Chain A
Amino acid sequence: MHYEVKQGAGRAEVALSGQLTFTDAPKFPQVLEQIVSRGKDGCDINLGNLEFIDSTGMSLLVYVYDAVRADRLDITLRNVKGAVRDALCRAGFDTLFSLG
């Protein structure tokens, strides 16, 4: 998984690409830290270039959700498509997030 976290107008703008899998678990704390530190008003995650996600990868989204929502901020997932959209919907993530 490749990731990029930018700060834009108070919100963390996150782009995840490649495959988000159990292999990436050691990166999760630093990804989470960057999102929390740059997302004072919320977080937007672009999954347009994410090809595949497994359950460990989905857990990163849960951690981000919990961290952002704990501060009563909103989080959106953008460009969710194909196999990634199917996996997230099957896991019930469409009840946590609006899948744009």
Chain B
Amino acid sequence: MIRLDSRHVERTLAEAAIAGLGPGDGRVTVFDSDREDDLVPVLGAETSLAIDVRCRAAAAGLAVGPGSLTLRLTTAAAARLDVASAFATALSVREPGFRAGAVDLRIALQEAIGNAVLHGNLGLDGGQRRTREGLVAFGTAMAARLADPAYAALAVTVAAEWDSRHLVVAVEDCGVGFDPAQVVSEAGTPMGMGLAVIRSRCGGVSFSKGGRRIAMAYAVE
């Protein structure tokens, strides 16, 4: 049975946001990212799925079930709020056996969310930042696209599934995807640093959906 938590938004908006959600069992919290400065209350211990009412097709493709926690929010919100810290904290609350890995997860998630925002949904080319002029253009384009609803309302989805021994956390964007094999770290430059950090902070990385989804594996002690 799905239990709707609409404390953060008007009930009718919450019900509309979960239209299209498949059958499942758990609590769904609907929130308005424009009204939130901290996601920790949104990801309260009883919540299995948290949906930002400002996302396009907010509940599309989502499901609710035990041993899972999913957060879907807009690109603009993912850029403004400390998603990685809140999500890692929420997982530690739900699975105490994971607390030792929470720091690594926070760091890896931060990189994955940054990639989903900058390169996935905002479609910005990191290579542009090799020059000072490119750095200016990158920053200008980033600010402009975050202010453009066509980009800003695109969804970033962070989803975790776990059992007594394993935890997998995935981040998915709505961008055009990429080939991770083409991303090469260049020593002494920022290029490719994010993926290198992710790989060093989890037990394994896999990509799917044409590169739009990255999954990071952890052990639960």
With known contacts A23-B79, A59-B129, A87-B107, A32–B135 Cβ distance under 8 A? yes
Q: Are A58 and B190 in contact (CB under 8 A)?
A: yes
B168 CB within 8 Å of chain A: no
Q: Are B107 and A54 in contact (CB under 8 A)?
A: yes
**B 112-126 contacts with A by CB, 8 A:** 114, 117-118
Q: Are A91 and B117 in contact (CB under 8 A)?
A: no
Residues of B within 8 A of A91 (CB): 193, 196-197
Chain A nearest Cβ from B182, distance in angstroms: 17
Chain A interface category by residue count: 20 to 34
Q: Are B114 and A32 in contact (CB under 8 A)?
A: no
Name 28 A/B residue pairs within 8 A (Cβ), A-sorted: A19-B82, A22-B79, A22-B114, A23-B79, A25-B138, A25-B139, A26-B139, A26-B142, A26-B143, A27-B139, A28-B135, A29-B135, A29-B139, A32-B132, A32-B135, A52-B110, A54-B107, A54-B114, A55-B111, A55-B194, A55-B196, A56-B114, A56-B194, A58-B190, A83-B103, A87-B107, A90-B200, A91-B193
